[in-house]
Chains A and B, each alone.
Chain A
Amino acid sequence: MPTPGGASERERYTWGIGFLLLPVVLWEVIPRAVPLPRGVRLFLATPSEIALAFVRLVEQGEFQQHFAVSAVEFLAGLGLSVAVGLPLGIVLGRSRLLDDVLDPFVTTLNATPRIVWLPLLMLWFGIGIWSKVMIVFLGAVFPLLINTYEGVRNTDRLLANMVRSFGGSEWQVARVVALPCALPYVVAGLRLAIGRAILGVVVGEFFGASRGLGYLIASAASSYRADVMFAGVLVFMALSLALTLSVKVLEERLTRWRPEATKTF
């Protein structure tokens, strides 16, 4: 059994941080201590080399340039998916007919990796930012749509009817019952959508792009600049973690009242 309070918490942090740092330290030390074959050395950059590469990229302004392109694609795609996913989720949650009619499309598109549309999107929207915006949109819209739908569907009938019996309008039902009930689902959907959107940006920029962090990674990899490549990968990881964690904090604030079981998707 855990000892309540300090000792256990401290142990948790020590082990956790230790095992986060351990791979970094090993990664730095091993290539210095052990003579690795040239083939391996070519693909390996130690953390210090990666940090230097990152600083160099920032100083030259190259990083900012790529970052700006990726950020625009991310925000435009995510914004579009919120603008489409939320209303559509509400409509599908409220209308049986539309739900039944659109269900095969939603289910099939959601089950199929959205990356599969990338070649087609590149044909339609070219190799500029719009094909990336569209792939981000396709990836991010379904978690939002489906979670909003679930949230609307799970509105407590009893509470809704009570508002109605006390003379409340449909608008009041939506505001007092449906919206608070659906909000945590929507935020959970947003968290998933952010992950998918970042995936879309990375993969979209791997192919037929000339700017963006994904392009930076792909082009560095094909010219054997391992330090630059890892710098790009780590920036993506850091951004993804920061965004996901901040939505998670928001989510926990909004879902304090929900039973544990419904929190894990």
Chain B
Amino acid sequence: MGSRRLVLGGLSVIAFALSWELLLSTVVRWDPFFITKPSLIAQAVREQILGGHLWRDMAVSAQAFVVGFVMAILVGIPVGAVMGWRRRAEYALDPLMTALYASPLIALAPLLIITAGVGIAAKALLVFLLAVFPFIFNTFAGVRCTDPLLVSVVRSFGGTERDLYTKVILPGVVPYLVAASRLAIGRGLVGILVGEFYAASEGIGFAISRFGDTYRLPEMFTGILVLAVVAVALTSVVRRLEAVVAPWRAGQRDR
């Protein structure tokens, strides 16, 4: 069944690209300011990979993304753990965090960029703001789902508070964290893109919007393709990881 899906999927992608190419080469008179052909995109991809600013742009964006993402992990896990373990903390933080999670924090992008400048800081902050909440809420959920029986066992065998964390709570939280990173990757990428669309001098988002502004469609599609490849690669790595640490979730599709 898996191979059938792969074959049919591959065939449909090839068919899509071929009919796009053929339609524009033969039937339709097309305007290069509005649409482009797969062959031209392929050529642009080759040029961008061999020369061009592609690698540089990717490195710039990746740097901001990684900084923001690591900050989100470093802040999100402790906050979520405290919320899960201390009732008062849950009471205090849950409404505030829920409100922030549900609101479109991306609306703060102009403020962040105007205060922190067009460099890495504003973008990293934006990624952090968007990516931190999945970590908070998933750690929270993971800690709350800790089996009280296991906690009692550790306690009655004279385990310390530290044993409790390293042997029971943390292993239980790991699957939740993997799920959180899948959500956070998507949100973080949005942060990078919006930050770079808004104001930047380099980066993959900047490249895409600049090529769009200058009607260089093959190059713009190159940027979009690269971003799609990165997003799909990151997501599938996390999904593999998820299948290892939380086999019961495998097979569910991305939501």
> Measuring CB to CB, which residues of chain A are less than 8 angstroms from any residue of chain B?
2, 11-12, 14-20, 23, 43, 97, 100-105, 107-108, 110-113, 115-120, 122-124, 143, 146-147, 149-150, 192, 195, 198-199, 202-203, 206-207, 214, 217-218, 221-222, 224, 226, 229, 232-233, 236-237, 240-241, 244-245, 264-265
Nearest CB of A to B142, in Å: 11
Name the A residues within 8 Å of B250 (CB-CB).
Answer: none
Given contacts A104-B12, A237-B103, contact A123 B209 (CB under 8 A): no
> Is A112 within 8 A of B232, CB to CB?
yes
A244 to B104: give the CA distance in the assembly, Å: 11
> Is A206 within 8 A of B197, CB to CB?
yes
Name the A residues within 8 Å of B197 (CB-CB).
Answer: 115, 118-119, 203, 206-207
Nearest CB of A to B9, in Å: 4
Given contacts A17-B95, A101-B9, contact A117 B111 (CB under 8 A): no
> Is A221 within 8 A of B8, CB to CB?
no
> Is B95 within 8 A of A203, CB to CB?
no
A108 to B227: give the CA distance in the assembly, Å: 10
> Is A240 within 8 A of B102, CB to CB?
yes
Chain B 166-200 interface mask (CB, 8 Å, partner A; 1/0): 00000000000000000000100110011001100
Name the A residues within 8 Å of B232 (CB-CB).
Answer: 107-108, 111-112
Q: Which residue of A lies closest to B188 (CB)?
A: A113
A232 to B110: give the CA distance in the assembly, Å: 12
The contact of B254 among A111, A207, A224, A264, by CB within 8 Å, is A111
> Is A143 within 8 A of B111, CB to CB?
no
A209 to B193: give the CA distance in the assembly, Å: 18
A206 to B102: give the CA distance in the assembly, Å: 20
A96 to B9: give the CA distance in the assembly, Å: 12
> Is B104 within 8 A of A218, CB to CB?
no
A203 to B197: give the CA distance in the assembly, Å: 10
> Is A199 within 8 A of B106, CB to CB?
yes
> Is A143 within 8 A of B12, CB to CB?
no
* Beta-carbon contacts under 8 Å, B44-103 to A: 87-88, 91-96, 99, 102-103
Given contacts A101-B9, A123-B212, A240-B102, contact A15 B107 (CB under 8 A): no
Q: Which residue of B lies closest to A114 (CB)?
A: B190
Q: Could you pull out 15 A-B pairs where Cβ atoms are within 8 angstroms? A: A18-B92, A20-B96, A23-B96, A101-B12, A105-B12, A107-B232, A107-B254, A112-B231, A115-B193, A116-B227, A203-B194, A224-B114, A229-B110, A240-B102, A245-B102
Chain B 196-219 interface mask (CB, 8 Å, partner A; 1/0): 011000000100110111010100
A113 to B205: give the CA distance in the assembly, Å: 11
Nearest CB of B to A207, in Å: 6
Name the B residues within 8 Å of A265 (CB-CB).
Answer: 255
Q: Which residue of A lies closest to B100 (CB)?
A: A237
Taking A232-B107, A241-B103 as given, write out 12 further A-B residue pairs in contact, using a Cβ cutoff of 8 Å, ordered by the A residue number.
A112-B232, A113-B227, A123-B215, A146-B255, A202-B107, A203-B106, A203-B109, A203-B194, A207-B198, A207-B209, A236-B103, A240-B102
Pairs of residues from A and B, 9 with the lowest C-beta to C-beta distance, nearest first: A119-B212, A221-B110, A237-B103, A15-B91, A100-B8, A16-B95, A101-B12, A15-B92, A19-B92
- B162 close to chain A: CB less than 8 A: no
Name the A residues within 8 Å of B111 (CB-CB).
Answer: 43, 221, 226, 229, 233
